[in-house]
Structure 1
Amino acid sequence: MYFFILALLLALFTRPLLAAEMRYPAGEEPIELPAHSPLNTQLPRTAQSHEDKKIEAMSLYLTLMREDERNVWAPYQLAASSAEKGQTELAERYLQLSANRGLWYYYTLLEDDAFNSIQHRATYRSILAATKARYLQHAHLFEGKASYAIPKGAPPSGGWPTVVFLHGYGKGANISPEERLLFSEMGVAYIEINGTQMLSENSFRWSNYSEESTQSAIQQALRPQEELKLNPQKIYLTARGQGALHAANLLSRYPQFYAGAMLIAPNGGIKPAQQSLAARKKVVVAYYDRQNFSDQALALHFANLFSENNQVETLHFPQGENAEGGWQARFKRPLQWVLNQAPDATPGA
């Protein structure tokens, strides 16, 4: 029953907060179905106004809230919707219910514009403080947490070359069996790190204010170098979306820690570096036509920034990855070039 309700909510509810959450960073959009797929068939749809959909969504949230006494998200959404309508007391009542059930999504509550009208009130401030306390207690177990894939056997002289991956907004560290095999075959250690700010279960971001916490998280993940037999002179950054913006800034500011980088569709809120200390590095910068103009311009900015004193390859694709143009098909060889394992960065398996 709960899964059915949640499925309907995802289809019906169009509040701006959720719309923002469903925006995928460039290059990370869901795979498009083939044109002939029966799932692409458009079913007849009855005319339904935006307000009708919101009313139906609220009805479903009310049902979910009653049937699942531990659910924090249903009363939260009802609170947000009530606040947007100016129903202050009702908004505070639902938000308090969400807090009583254990709301800990601190950044979601802090940055949700729906609550602008009640942010000055004592009830909201009290709930925000309690949410922050629960967040700090829970999230520190997962923020910046690293996952490792180390090749079997003896490392080369000096230790394993190491690839550190910084995910895009809303993602998390999750090394797949295919990735373990890929990097093992390439003869490199592979590390994925959760973002430094936790949004919800298995969803993280990097700071919107500075790359410093990202640098600290990477160095923390690299601390067991001797135990894992990692080569500190051969640490390479790979990154997507928001993670790529952080990686680019880190390479420009702390080139002594990193031997090269592959930056895929950088975007995000922190200020991009305007000067670079990096020299004698190999850098790949990739972007897509499907990105907006400012994001494409950001990728080209970094390609130009690193072009002085470094070897830079700029890759341009008409659209994001799909079944025919996935990670290995596009980025294996460019990464091997960064790692000095291939003569050029031409995309291809």
Structure 2
Amino acid sequence: MKCLFGFALAAALLSCAPALHAATADEVEDATFPVLSPVVNALINADDAQDLVKRADAMEDSNELQALALYLAASREDRAQLRAPYQVAALLARRGTDEMLALRYLREADERGLWFGPMLAEDADFADLRQTPAFQSVLANAQRRYREVAAGRVGAISVLPPSPGVVAAGACPPVVVWLHGYGINGHLDESDQPLADAGAVLLGINGTEMIDTFDSFRWIGPGFDGTHRAVQDGLDALAARQCIDRKRIYLMGFSQGSQHAGALLAQHPQDYAGALLVSPGGSQATPTESKARCKRVVVVNGREEGPRNLRMSEDFRRLFGEGNQVRSRTHDGGHTYPEDWQVSFPQALRWLMGGDG
């Protein structure tokens, strides 16, 4: 990546150029170092183009020009990169003065096989370009590719049974359906084993729409019916493999997945027996009415979460507070699992499934 140093540094210098024309060399160096330092450090320490993109993502909110320099470097370093030229186009379009250059990089992303059509269709950065023939052509190509890429990935399931020796009550085991947060996926691994060892088959499901990488998904609206269908389809696929107790289906979610899990229990209580809601979050409104009665619900959130997440946690506590058994916990952290989750979450699941927990 050394060949890209000059380009990236020159781009970063643009942010302070107007104030430097009359400065001495020492003053220029002192003034530009804070601007150049993050870009230089990223170029020196990044493992590859993908790492550069991650570092650019992290700095985009604080300094768009620094991020632009890294996206450009990643785009030139790896011609297979899709997100790098896409992000360059988005940042240039956001400025409002570089529309032709933005379309150039958007077409470059298209030539490389841009496939995240849903993300492009709603990206506010391209609002002023949305009606141009060039944008519409790229969008059509991306939406076509998305249908091909998403097939077999959206709604795909991951299954984790209890460890040998863990006995589940009943002829067929209950199921805990795991709904992931925004931007991740439903893949389960050995770190999730304590959840399955609460005495249920753990079922992870990929969200209802891919975002911008093969392993990032979200649960889309409007409403929550699409998520309900995805969960039921996942349960049908699991039932085709093994016996499960459809009367004992429990929901567990984090962040956006937690909001959707709570909404599914409120709106479809005939299909779900209870829910563990961890740090609910999301852009949709929390349901204001619940059909759930005689259900067990656990709501967990961090004390240091943002105001919207704190409000949503309280909304769900109130929503299920009438006619259900609700347990609540606020831990000392933020929008994350509590440190003791490998112990406390299995306890919560055992309580949901009728134990003392």
Q: Secondary structure at the match of 2:247?
A: strand
Q: Secondary structure at the match of 1:213?
A: helix
**Cα distance in 1 between the residues matched to 2:335 and 2:134:** 46
For the Cα contact (< 8 Å) 2:49–2:75, is it kept in 1? no
> 1:232 and 2:246 equivalent?
yes
For the Cα contact (< 8 Å) 2:49–2:78, is it kept in 1? no
| Structure 1 letter corresponding to 2:204 | E
> 1:188 and 2:189 equivalent?
no
Q: Secondary structure at the match of 2:246?
A: strand
User: Displacement of 1:187 after TM fit?
Assistant: 2.5
The 1:286–1:50 alpha-carbon spacing in structure 2 relative to 1, beyond 3 Å, is: closer
**Cα distance in 2 between the residues matched to 1:304 and 1:247:** 15
> 1:308 and 2:322 equivalent?
yes
| Structure 2 letter corresponding to 1:241 | S
Deviations 1:310-337 (A, max 9, x none): 1111111221388981421432212211
For the Cα contact (< 8 Å) 1:208–1:268, is it kept in 2? no
**Cα distance in 2 between the residues matched to 1:262 and 1:50:** 38
For the Cα contact (< 8 Å) 1:208–1:269, is it kept in 2? no
The 1:176–1:50 alpha-carbon spacing in structure 2 relative to 1, beyond 3 Å, is: closer
For the Cα contact (< 8 Å) 2:56–2:68, is it kept in 1? no
Which of 230, 255, 264 is the aligned partner of 2:278? 264
> Which has the larger displacement, 263-272 or 244-253?
263-272
Q: Which has the higher contact order (CA 8 A, sep 6+)?
A: 1
User: Displacement of 1:119 after TM fit?
Assistant: 1.3
| Structure 1, gaps ≥5 residues long | 20-48, 345-349
| Structure 2 letter corresponding to 1:76 | Y
> Which has the larger displacement, 193-202 or 150-159?
150-159
| Structure 2 letter corresponding to 1:251 | L
> 1:3 and 2:53 equivalent?
no
**What TM-score comes out, normalization by structure 2 length?**
0.79
Q: Secondary structure at the match of 1:190?
A: strand
| Structure 2, gaps ≥5 residues long | 2-45
- Report 1:1-349 matches (<5 A): 1=1, 3-11=47-55, 19=61, 50=63, 54=65, 57-85=67-95, 86-151=97-162, 156-180=169-193, 182-199=194-211, 200-223=213-236, 224-225=238-239, 227-320=241-334, 325-341=339-355, 343-344=356-357
Deviations 1:203-225 (A, max 9, x none): 00001422111111111111142
User: Displacement of 1:253 after TM fit?
Assistant: 0.9
The 1:290–1:323 alpha-carbon spacing in structure 2 relative to 1, beyond 3 Å, is: closer
Q: Secondary structure at the match of 2:210?
A: strand
> Which has the larger displacement, 74-83 or 126-135?
74-83
**Cα distance in 1 between the residues matched to 2:187 and 2:204:** 7
Larger Rg: 2
For the Cα contact (< 8 Å) 1:321–1:327, is it kept in 2? no
**What TM-score comes out, normalization by structure 1 length?**
0.80
Q: Which runs of 4+ in 1 moved over 4 A?
A: 12-15, 152-156, 321-324
For the Cα contact (< 8 Å) 2:302–2:335, is it kept in 1? no
> Which has the larger displacement, 313-322 or 81-90?
313-322
| Structure 2 letter corresponding to 1:196 | T
| Structure 2 letter corresponding to 1:131 | A
Q: Percent identity?
A: 32
The 1:63–1:50 alpha-carbon spacing in structure 2 relative to 1, beyond 3 Å, is: closer
**Cα distance in 2 between the residues matched to 1:251 and 1:161:** 16
**Cα distance in 1 between the residues matched to 2:310 and 2:337:** 23
For the Cα contact (< 8 Å) 2:180–2:255, is it kept in 1? yes
User: Displacement of 1:261 after TM fit?
Assistant: 0.6
For the Cα contact (< 8 Å) 2:279–2:335, is it kept in 1? no
Q: Secondary structure at the match of 2:288?
A: coil
User: Displacement of 1:155 after TM fit?
Assistant: 6.1
User: Displacement of 1:232 after TM fit?
Assistant: 0.8
**Cα distance in 2 between the residues matched to 1:76 and 1:65:** 9
Q: Secondary structure at the match of 1:90?
A: helix
User: Displacement of 1:240 after TM fit?
Assistant: 0.8
User: Displacement of 1:202 after TM fit?
Assistant: 0.6
Query: CA RMSD for the aligned pairs?
Result: 2.5
Q: Secondary structure at the match of 2:339?
A: coil
**Cα distance in 2 between the residues matched to 1:156 and 1:104:** 45
| Structure 1 letter corresponding to 2:47 | F
Deviations 1:278-303 (A, max 9, x none): 11111001122222223212211111
Deviations 1:27-69 (A, max 9, x none): xxxxxxxxxxxxxxxxxxxxxx947xx1x54444444333422
